[in-house]
Structure 1
Amino acid sequence: MITGRHYQNAYVTRNVDKAVASFKQHADIRSLMEIEVPVQLWTPQGEGTGVQKLAFVWVEDLNFELIEPKDGETLAIYRDALPADDSLKFHHVCHVVDDWDELMGKVEKQPFPIVLKGGTPGMLQFLYLDAREWLGHYIEYVWMVPERWAAMGGR
């Protein structure tokens, strides 16, 4: 299932700082946001808190999300995909949607399982579908209020 507006390619790494330095060297960055944050997540195996070090690198209107999983069992989706070294490894694409309820209706009718969900209801919600059998990667969908989109660097 593909819907919404593709705006992000996401990568996992063991070293976000090194990845950011490489982007600074090789890309025309218009905006950069770096955070380390605990997030409450749901997976088919259960719920829990995961701590991630993240960088959101904007090059024109494409966002590159760099993910370094730090702590938490719910981060296995990222940790299991890490490369052996500090390089970047492609993980998923993300599409932003305007209506979360409409998206959920579409998700219920498609064959790919939800493997991760999280967010703050009323502000930002996201989920991952496991489309690896079809596309070779996950697909993330996110909905957020306009203020949060602007704070992330979207335009």
Structure 2
Amino acid sequence: MLEGMHYQNAYVCDDLEAAIALFRGRGMTKEPIVIPVDQTVQTPEGPKRQKSRICFIWIGDLQYELIENEIDEVGIYGNCLSNGGPLRFHHICFRIDDWDDFRARVDDQEFPIAMERDLTGEDPNGLKFLYLDARKVFGHYLEYTWMPEAMWQQIRAM
């Protein structure tokens, strides 16, 4: 299942500030904002906590997400093995226009859901996301997101 608009490559790191520094002088034009994330996501085994510090860096039309893992009950970031460098490639992300249509087909495709969250219950203008475990085929996870256009424009402006 590869669909939607690919707009993000994501990396896990042990030191977020050091990872951000690697992008300075390599196309990063604005200083990124570090965002603390502490959330409960749904998994096939039930709710699990995932806590991290993240930032987003736009270079052209591609967003780089840097993730410093703090608590990972899902095991989705902790299983990203070291490649000897400060950044470890983790997933790509696609933006989906019609979430209901997409979500109705997820259970019929080959990749298992690793985690999922729907923030629209907390905020009608919130986003929805899920990760599919495509490591056996692609070597990484696939993330899919849906968000209102206003949120997308805000993310693009970060």
| TM-score under structure 2 length normalisation | 0.88
Q: Which runs of 5+ in 1 are unaligned?
A: none
Question: Hey, which of these two has a bigger chunk of strand by percent?
Answer: 1
Q: Is residue 110 from structure 1 mapped to residue 109 from structure 2 by the alignment?
A: yes
The answer for the alignment partner of 2:33 in structure 1 is 33
- Corresponding residue for 2:8? 8
Task: Tell me the SS of whatever aligns to 1:32.
Answer: coil
CA contact (8 A) 1:29 1:60 kept: no
Kept in 2, the 8 Å contact 1:13–1:82? The answer is: no
- 2:73 match: 73
Moved beyond 6 Å, runs of 4+:
none
Unaligned runs of 5+ in 2: none
| Distance 1:98-1:31 versus aligned 2 partners, 3 A rule | farther
The answer to whether the Cα contact below 8 Å between 1:13 and 1:83 also exists between their aligned partners in 2 is: no
Matches within 5 A, 1:1-155: 1-29=1-29, 32-74=32-74, 76-83=75-82, 87-121=86-120, 122=124, 123-153=126-156
| Secondary structure of 2:86's aligned partner | coil
Q: CA RMSD in A?
A: 2.0
Paired-residue identity, %: 38
SS at match of 1:133: helix
TM-score using structure 1 length: 0.89
Q: Would you say the 8 A contact 2:130–2:143 is kept in 1?
A: yes
Aligned length, in residue pairs: 154
Per-residue CA deviations over 1:34-72 (Å, capped at 9, x if unaligned) read 201212211223213321100100001100000111124
